[in-house]
Amino acid sequence: METIKTDVVIVGAGGAGLSAAIAVAEQSPELKIALISKVYPMRSHTVAAEGGAAGVIKPDDSMDDHFHDTVAGGDWLCDQDAVDLFIEQAPLELTRLEHWGCPWSREKNGKVAVRPFGGMKNERTWFAADKSGFHILHTLFQTSIKYPSIKRYDEYYSTDLIVSEGRCQGVTAIEMRTGLMQLFQARSVIIAAGGAGWMFPFTTNGAIKTADGMAMAYRAGVPLKDMEFVQYHPTGLPGTGILLTEGCRGEGGILVNKDGYRYLQDYELGPPDPWPRKKAMELGPRDRLSQAFWHEQQKGRTVSSRWGDVIHLDMRHLGEKKINEKLPLVRDLASSYVGADPVHELVPVRPVVHYMMGGIHTDIDAATPLPGLYAAGECACVSINGANRLGSNSLTELLVFGRRAGKHAAEHARSNPNSSDSEISQKGTEARQRVTDLFLREDSGENITDLRKGMNETLEAGAGIYRTQDSLQETCNTIDELRQRYTKVHLGDKSNVFNTNLIYTMEVGSMLEAAHAMAYSALNRTESRGSHQRLDHPDRDDEKFLKHSLAYYQGEGSPRLDYLDVVITRSQPGQRVYGGGEK
């Protein structure tokens, strides 16, 4: 196996990975950086983000408001020291992107424009039309190529962390073009491998979001934090799950049921609020809007369509000019994928899995408990998102914590020498064996696609928008069984060059591990908080569960669960309303 010696290795070249790479290169030009990605960087999921990135910029907004919106939106499960750091850094990071060439949309007077977003009391979401993620990622990518110390390994699939002498000292990765396994030896490692939406059947996520980074850290003994918190986005296109940005509602789109009734007025989504809207309505937090869909469905007031139950998003009153100017991609997507032109027609939508609040446990410096290992972006849990992320906080999080991961990983690399090559290469050989075993297995009749479908179905049915003890227990049992069956899966395709069967099989393996942690964490949390709603435990229980859950990998057995106090600095848990605070 070839060994590539470098100083910092980064798994993932989306918004978080590129931000981290640039930070290392800027601060420590002498350090060599290996940037590994299973797809070409511009195909990372960050490119698909539409709505925008939050950061206080307008005089009528305030850091306090951003803090309280985030903490209350997260149902007080956010670590408040991390939120404070995040909101302070947010405008600086977004301005830095502006200087690097990000074409933020403008007001008539030339100032940066911001739009309203769900759960945010004030307008603070910076956007570049409805292609914000594309422009952010492109800006980061073009900036990254200025730095000679960043060496890219595109289309390399990373499989395992290398832990030697109690420190993380590299990763193994398969070069997909040749099928060869390579060992990247480094003094620090950053995981920025994105989320895990593909565990579920309906998701806005790109097909590459398969929990690989989470599973790598988990198997290496790093706990996964708050995995039970899964965000549904209320407006995905039925069938494909493609997202229609919250910007649709931010710009004035409304949701109506089969009677054409604006049903959100019947639900408690936040108090009347002085700023333009009378009630939160369509701009209530995502979890509440998705739950309202479920209730409408129970009452038989959703619309039956060829894709199953949907509700309608009405944007017709916005007019063609505004839709073309502010939401061109939305018009294109709705017309192409469900045949509904929002200028003239109602667009069918339904809740779809969008974002994982949980992930690799890190502290405020993006450091995990394993020395030398850092994590940032959607695969990580700092946590600023708590039990429910507010839309547009994630893109900014990539910048703030990607940079922080880069800074601290660089410091670690500078002060820690490599340890013995022989132990590292032994670990590499063990990792390669895991892959070789897949090639050697005989056909047992187990089919990887059946396993994926089984996982998708059991998570949606048992660990979806609403959960119960029974539904979760059944999901845990099913995932246990699927993990067992996974050990018998063999590869139909044993070739080396671009073996997609191999990659897909490994991705399903990663997802089963993350799903396992998720299902057990959800079963154990007998309260309702944010996106985790238990019909059998409808209330929040701060006494027992104002805590992060930590799931530790236990091989074949169920994960070991532990709990960690939430950092509360200046907002005591209160009723979840806009503006947060003691209300």
Q: By CB under 6 A, is residue 39 in contact with ligand FAD?
A: yes
d(CA 251, CA 232): 20
Both tokens of 291, joined, read: 């739950």
* Dihedrals phi, psi of 559, to nearest 5 degrees: -65, 150
Q: By CB under 6 A, is residue 97 in contact with ligand FAD?
A: no
Site string for ligand FAD, 215-254 (x = CB under 6 A): ----------------------------x-x---------
> Which phi-psi region, left, alpha or beta, contains residue 70 (left: φ > 0; alpha: ψ -120 to 50)?
alpha
- Nearest approach in angstroms of CB 337 to ligand FAD is 13
- Nearest approach in angstroms of CB 378 to ligand FAD is 4
Residue 565, strand partner residues: 547
Tell me which stretch binds ligand FAD (CB under 6 A): 14-22, 345-353, 480-488, 523-531.
Answer: 14-22
Show the 3-state SS of 540-576. CCHHHHCEEEEEECCCCCCCEEEEEECCCCCCCCCCC
d(CA 377, CA 556): 28
Q: By CB under 6 A, is residue 150 in contact with ligand FAD?
A: no
Residue in the structure block whose two tokens are 């934090």: 225
Q: By CB under 6 A, is residue 73 in contact with ligand FAD?
A: no
249 classed as catalytic? yes
- Nearest approach in angstroms of CB 225 to ligand FAD is 15
Site string for ligand FAD, 463-482 (x = CB under 6 A): --------------------
- Nearest approach in angstroms of CB 507 to ligand FAD is 8
Closest CA to 255 of 312, 303, 334: 312
> According to CB under 6 A, which residues from 270 to 309 bind ligand FAD?
none
d(CA 558, CA 552): 9
Applying CB under 6 A, among 28, 37, 188, 571 the residue interacting with ligand FAD is 37
Q: By CB under 6 A, is residue 118 in contact with ligand FAD?
A: no
Amino acid at the residue 573? P
Query: Annotated catalytic residue: which of 66, 187, 249, 412?
Result: 249
Confirm if 208 and 39 have CB atoms less than 8 A apart.
Answer: yes
Helix, strand, or coil here: 223?
coil
d(CA 9, CA 255): 45
Amino acid at the residue 336? S
Count CA within 13 A, CB hemisphere, residue 498.
3
Tell me which stretch binds ligand FAD (CB under 6 A): 152-160, 294-302, 305-313, 465-473.
Answer: 152-160
Applying CB under 6 A, among 25, 34, 38, 66 the residue interacting with ligand FAD is 38
Q: By CB under 6 A, is residue 170 in contact with ligand FAD?
A: no
Site string for ligand FAD, 367-406 (x = CB under 6 A): ----------xxx-----------xxxxx--x--------
Q: By CB under 6 A, is residue 48 in contact with ligand FAD?
A: yes
* Dihedrals phi, psi of 320, to nearest 5 degrees: -65, -40
Residue in the structure block whose two tokens are 């949701």: 255
Closest CA to 492 of 500, 483, 484, 501: 501
Which residue, 157 or 466, is less far from ligand FAD as judged by CB?
157
- Nearest approach in angstroms of CB 209 to ligand FAD is 6
Q: Let me know the angle formed at the C-alpha of 180 by 177 and 186, rounded to the nearest 5 degrees.
A: 110
Query: Annotated catalytic residue: which of 115, 233, 288, 403?
Result: 233
Q: By CB under 6 A, is residue 16 in contact with ligand FAD?
A: yes
Applying CB under 6 A, among 6, 28, 46, 105 the residue interacting with ligand FAD is 46
Other CB atoms closer than 10 Å to residue 484's CB: what's the count? 11
Other CB atoms closer than 10 Å to residue 547's CB: what's the count? 15
Site string for ligand FAD, 187-206 (x = CB under 6 A): -----xxxx--------xx-
- Give the footprint of ligand FAD on this chain (CB under 6 A): 11-17, 36-39, 41, 44-46, 48-53, 132-133, 156-158, 192-195, 204-205, 208-209, 212-213, 243, 245, 355, 377-379, 391-395, 398
Catalytic residues, by residue number, are 233, 249
